[in-house]
Amino acid sequence: MRRVAGKVGGWFYEAVPLGRAAAFRTLCYLFVVADLLVFTNWVRSHASVPGALYQPLAIGRILPLPTPTPLLVNGIFVALIVLALLAATGRAPRLLGWPVFLLYLEWMIIAMSYGKVDHDRVGFLVALAVLPTVGRARHGDATRSESAGWALRCTQIAVIATYFLASWAKIRFGGLAWLGGATLTRAVLRRGTWAARLLLDVPGLLVAAQWGIVMFELLSPAVFFLKERWRVWAIGGFYLFHVVVFSTITISFLPHLVAMAAFLPLEKVRPVEWAKRLRGRREPVEAPA
Amino acid sequence: MAIERLTTRGRLVRVLIALVGMAALASGTLYGQDDWFPLAPFRMFSTTDDPNKPVDIARVDAIDVTGARFELTERNSGVRRAEVEGQMAALKADPALVAAIAAAYEQHSPDAPELVRIEIIVEHHELKDGSATGVVVDEVVTAWDR
């Protein structure tokens, strides 16, 4: 009994190379900057949306967070960009990591307080919440660490929960009739690309896709039982699923895709090292006389 | 290769946090509503649409002083379509809220001609066996005039 509990417990902090956590951390903090500047730049326009359209979330009523004003929204915007850029270097991981998490959470709370809540953020929010606990981690460090393993595992769990629980939500809100309904037809009419509109005319195709999506979501936790090599391939398949979704109904799930990189052997991706080596080859260092 | 281990306490605390987090996410999806964010249910595309009933899609149209008619979008007003759909009941009950969208547009595009009218429109797209017939009926559900 104890041994089983130990094994299950150990799964939560299975050691991974510190270099992997370092690379994932840089990726996440750079995405915060890109997200603010490009992908959720519309949040800034909430600063100029009058308070009458503000519908605070439960968390905003409990805490109680202020109704967004241009000063608040723009203050968070500037502070987050500066702190996230610094955090991406890997320095002062806790001192920079915690404020980035809290400010980004508030940014998201503002984003979701005007009548529409997005569902692609949880994995990424979990990543930002757990990354500061890893502490120091250098790029390329092959030392395996249980604390890094736990942070990546938590992110992986949140990513897979996003799929798995999405199938529960469909049953809860849509009922079993969801499988044979016209939800995807509606999605295509709402925001479909020309490629998707062609699919509208194929009888039964979108209903088959609905069955496929629910099966995929229900089975997604199986990735945890695959051997590492196969798991990476499976995650590649997940990314492909999102490419299809994006090219048909232009839903990107981008922060979720960034969080999903927690499954990949990121320590092998060393762009700075590669650039250095490339430069070194072009300008051979002169041997000392 | 060396392994950096956690202390027994560090392990215990981390396993507990992970289990509590998993329970929180699951209960959010089982019992929560959207305003539980970040623990909101993962209800992307979770409503069921009848394959033989029209699907309703919201649109916001504006008319400015020059008489030009155009769609208000996230780009020109900072209000997203899904947000209009999410607040449809409130907008119908209190058309004064529609004026807030006009104000948002004017702050967003200060040099653009003034708006004289905003219409919140629901497009009814007719379906047959889950396919669009191409018949679309626009219904103005609420409007605001300067």
What are the tens digits of pLDDT across the range B100-145? 888 888 888 888 899 999 999 999 999 888 778 888 999 998 888 8
First to last CA, chain B: 73
In angstroms, rounded to a whole number, what is the distance separating the alpha carbons of residues A256 and A121?
A: 6
In angstroms, rounded to a whole number, what is the distance separating the alpha carbons of residues B84 and B145?
A: 18
Fill in the amino acid letter for A111: A
Per-residue pLDDT at B1: 67
Q: How many other CB atoms sit within 10 Å of the CB of residue A16?
A: 23
Q: Is the pLDDT of residue A198 over 90?
A: no
Contact (CB<8Å) B45/A170: yes
* Minimum CA–CA partner of B41 in chain A: A169
Contact A36/A47 with Cβ under 8 angstroms?
no
Q: Which residues of A touch B103 (CB under 8 A)?
A: 50
Q: Which residues of A touch B13 (CB under 8 A)?
A: none
CA distances from A273 to A98, A191, A211, A268 (A): 28, 42, 45, 10
* pLDDT tens per residue, range A81-138: 999 999 999 999 999 999 999 999 999 999 998 878 888 999 999 999 999 999 999 9
**Smallest Cα distance from B65 to chain A, Å:** 22
User: A175, A37, A205, A116: which is closest to B46 by C-alpha?
Assistant: A175
Per-residue pLDDT at A287: 54
Q: What percent of chain A has pLDDT over 70?
A: 95
Q: Is the pLDDT of residue B69 over 90?
A: yes
Q: Is the pLDDT of residue A190 over 80?
A: yes
Per-residue pLDDT at A232: 95
CA distances from A183 to A95, A166, A213, B45, B139 (A): 45, 14, 12, 7, 21
Map out the domains of chain B as residue ranges.
9-46, 55-145
- Is residue B123 within a helix (H) or strand (E), and if so which, with residue range? strand B115-128
Q: For A116-130, A174-188, A252-266, B82-96, which range has the lowest pLDDT when averaged over its residues? A: B82-96
Q: How many other CB atoms sit within 10 Å of the CB of residue A86?
A: 15
In angstroms, rounded to a whole number, what is the distance separating the alpha carbons of residues B92 and A130?
A: 43
Q: How many other CB atoms sit within 10 Å of the CB of residue B145?
A: 12
Give the one of A147, A169, A177 whose C-beta lies nearest to B29's C-beta.
A169
Contact (CB<8Å) A115/B4: no
